[in-house]
A and B are shown apart, each in its own frame.
Chain A
Amino acid sequence: MRPILLKGHERPLSQVKFNRDGDLLFSVSKDSVASIWYSSNGERLGTLNGHSGAISAIDIDPTTTFAITGSADFSAKLWRVETGECIFTWNTVTPVRGVEFNKDASKVLVLTAEVMGHPGTISIYPVDFTKEEQSTEPLLVIKRQPELGVFTVAGWSYGDKYIIAGHNDGSISKIDAETGEFLETAKYHEGIVTDLQFSPDRTYFITSSKDQSAVLVDVLEFKLLKQYQAKAPVNSAVITPVKDYIILGGGQDAKDVTTTKSADGKFESKIFHKIFKDEIGRIKGHFGPINTIAIHPKGTGFASGGEDGYVRLHHFDQPYFDFQYDVEKTAAATNKASLQTAS
């Protein structure tokens, strides 16, 4: 595995994300700047400058024409990727914690924090890329149920049917994306839900938590599919395409680490087999907790962003793709034989 160290941010990373083609990597940080990097060599293509506070989240439209960022400066901004210009700003009453386009980027969800007596919400705004001026009138505002914790993360499920949200009390919710009705809630974590990322077809998702675990949950029936134990707080989790793996990133918070040895903080990315739940490997390198992980859309590598201010970009070597358990080899051979018989 060949890691490339991306040095460009001056403060801890909040989120890293690949565009749909995977040729570009986007990163946002508490230093209020968003960076765009070539994922092949780690060269910085440019920055998005305009926020006046920590940036917490970023997303990119399917054609990599526009990007949206959410910041603690009480705004979400829409950017033209090619020129780096900010074309629109949505102002919010509290800091923005999450942003995500739906599948065709005709809508965007903006998750705001619950502070200063204002309730945290998930607002859905319409997006029209044919014009610069955007509607500031949300299509839907989702407020949390009183019995659930504050929203911490949210994303769109398959077919944009549901919004899946994570809460700071360890709960997760399934919300109708048209009506805002809470359809299901479950509590698969004992601590704050720190990240939520979907499978490529968005029919199941993984959540990570400070409770040192990650869980795989089905969208349709909202049932627990798998649970993974990391032995350290987990800040981010991804499901890998191509291989049946998941990758977790996290580590002890700096205030909880009593020595300066990074080994004590468990600042590692851990690869688990998604189905068998065995830990397959660990990737060290960060000098502080890993705050965010993104997987390349074609499954060829991943990026991690740390509290240390660095992004580490990893390209998987061939053995990563070749490795199979004996039962997987047998199943693949049986499947191939049955396909040949059928044809």
Chain B
Amino acid sequence: LDSMEADANLREIIMRRKKLLKEWKEYRDFVEAHLKELGLYEEEKKEDVEVIE
């Protein structure tokens, strides 16, 4: 495998991962919008904890 071919393969993998990540984000945005419509969306709760060091 020459370095040009390796670069091309790596580029393809990165592009595929970018696409999958984008698709996942779009899916989650769609679902969150649906939950908001139903009044079921819960923001990620920040933990109410006291840290004692």
Where the two chains meet, the residues of A that have a C-beta atom closer than 8 Å to any C-beta of B are 158-159, 201, 203-204, 218, 220, 225, 244, 275-276, 325-328, 331
B45 to chain A: closest CB distance in Å?
A: 11
Bound form: Cα–Cα A57–B25 in Å? 34
- Beta-carbon nearest neighbor of B31 in chain A: A203
Bound form: Cα–Cα A275–B24 in Å? 7
Question: A residues within 8 A CB of B20?
Answer: 275-276
Cβ–Cβ contact B35 & A201, under 8 A: yes
Cβ–Cβ contact A328 & B21, under 8 A: yes
Given contacts A220-B34, A326-B14, A327-B14, 10 further A-B contacts (CB under 8 A): A159-B38, A159-B40, A203-B34, A220-B31, A225-B27, A244-B24, A275-B20, A275-B24, A276-B17, A327-B21
Query: Which 3 residue pairs are nearest across A and B when measured between Cβ atoms?
Result: A327-B17, A203-B31, A275-B24
Residue B50, interface by CB 8 Å: no
- A275 partner, pick from B21, B35, B38, B40, beta carbons under 8 A: B21
Question: A residues within 8 A CB of B34?
Answer: 203, 220
Bound form: Cα–Cα A44–B40 in Å? 37
- Beta-carbon nearest neighbor of B23 in chain A: A275
Where the two chains meet, the residues of B that have a C-beta atom closer than 8 Å to any C-beta of A are 14, 17-18, 20-21, 24-25, 27, 31, 34-35, 38, 40, 42
- Beta-carbon nearest neighbor of A327 in chain B: B17
Cβ–Cβ contact B17 & A325, under 8 A: yes
Bound form: Cα–Cα A225–B35 in Å? 18
Question: A residues within 8 A CB of B27?
Answer: 218, 225
A279 to chain B: closest CB distance in Å?
A: 15
- Beta-carbon nearest neighbor of B30 in chain A: A220
Cβ–Cβ contact B21 & A331, under 8 A: yes
Bound form: Cα–Cα A327–B20 in Å? 10
Bound form: Cα–Cα A204–B31 in Å? 9
Cβ–Cβ contact A203 & B21, under 8 A: no
- Beta-carbon nearest neighbor of B42 in chain A: A201
Question: B residues within 8 A CB of A201?
Answer: 31, 35, 42
Question: A residues within 8 A CB of B17?
Answer: 276, 325, 327
- Beta-carbon nearest neighbor of A274 in chain B: B24
A-B contact count (CB 8 A): 31
Bound form: Cα–Cα A204–B40 in Å? 14
Question: A residues within 8 A CB of B18?
Answer: 327
Question: B residues within 8 A CB of A158?
Answer: 35, 40
Bound form: Cα–Cα A327–B10 in Å? 12
- Looking at A204, A225, A276, A327, the one whose CB has the most chain B CB atoms below 10 A away is A327
Question: B residues within 8 A CB of A331?
Answer: 21, 25
Cβ–Cβ contact B35 & A203, under 8 A: yes
Bound form: Cα–Cα A47–B18 in Å? 48
B30 to chain A: closest CB distance in Å?
A: 8
What are some 7 contacts across the A-B interface (CB < 8 A)? Answer: A159-B40, A203-B31, A203-B35, A220-B34, A225-B27, A327-B17, A327-B18
Question: A residues within 8 A CB of B31?
Answer: 201, 203-204, 218, 220
Question: B residues within 8 A CB of A218?
Answer: 27, 31
A32 to chain B: closest CB distance in Å?
A: 37
- Beta-carbon nearest neighbor of A202 in chain B: B40
A155 to chain B: closest CB distance in Å?
A: 17
A163 to chain B: closest CB distance in Å?
A: 17
Question: A residues within 8 A CB of B21?
Answer: 275, 327-328, 331
Bound form: Cα–Cα A327–B24 in Å? 13
B7 to chain A: closest CB distance in Å?
A: 14
B49 to chain A: closest CB distance in Å?
A: 11
Question: A residues within 8 A CB of B40?
Answer: 158-159
Bound form: Cα–Cα A88–B4 in Å? 70
Bound form: Cα–Cα A215–B31 in Å? 18
Bound form: Cα–Cα A326–B18 in Å? 10
